[in-house]
Amino acid sequence: MSKTLYLASTSPRRWELLQQLGLSVSRIGGEIDETPKVGEDAKSYCQRIAKAKNQAAQAVVFSQQFAPLPLLTADTTVSIDGQILGKPKDKAEAFAMLSQLSGRTHHVYTAVGVSVGEEYFSTVQTSEVTLRSLSEAEIWAYIDTQDPLDKAGAYGIQGIGGSFIQYLSGSFTGVMGLPLYETAELLKRCGITILA
């Protein structure tokens, strides 16, 4: 049974997590506009973005006449106070995000979509995360590591940012960017079984 799929994501974390599952992964492009719509909630937003990424990557597969393989996309969105926190544009925005999250609980939504031909399967995993209170000096020191600048909500659970997490209910790998349980269940529906 084939364990090969396309990943339409530049995230090194998603790539590594799929490799950990023993899958053979080929990256594929497909750029989209990730701007949230007015009044869009975080869960709906990440579902829409994961699907749009999938459709854009499917178009690349079709136009380049690549082999027909399952195609996986995902989107991770941080939400607090009804606000979507994407990747910070700069250090100042990273500081503002981390200050907002400091000492408080927020939600992390990761939508995963897998397509095979014209079929599309998707799910959303939700985690609740509480960061301990952070001093301004700690926030700036963390920003100076560059780690927050390419991550939704301006922190990564798998690096130094993980030391800020006081409480997590949900999926560690979901907060990283790809919930492994949910992903494995979707892949089963597409004919890819992890342990077989």
- Annotated active-site residue 75? The verdict is yes
> Out of 33, 41, 75, 147, which one is annotated catalytic?
75
Burial level of 5, CB count in 10 A (0-12/13-18/19+)? Answer: buried
Closest CA to 17 of 182, 137, 140: 182
Query: 90: which DSSP letter?
Result: S
Give the long-range contacts of residues 155-163, CB within 8 A, separation 24 or more.
Answer: 155/98, 155/101, 155/131, 156/13, 157/129, 158/13
Query: So which residues are the catalytic ones?
Result: 75
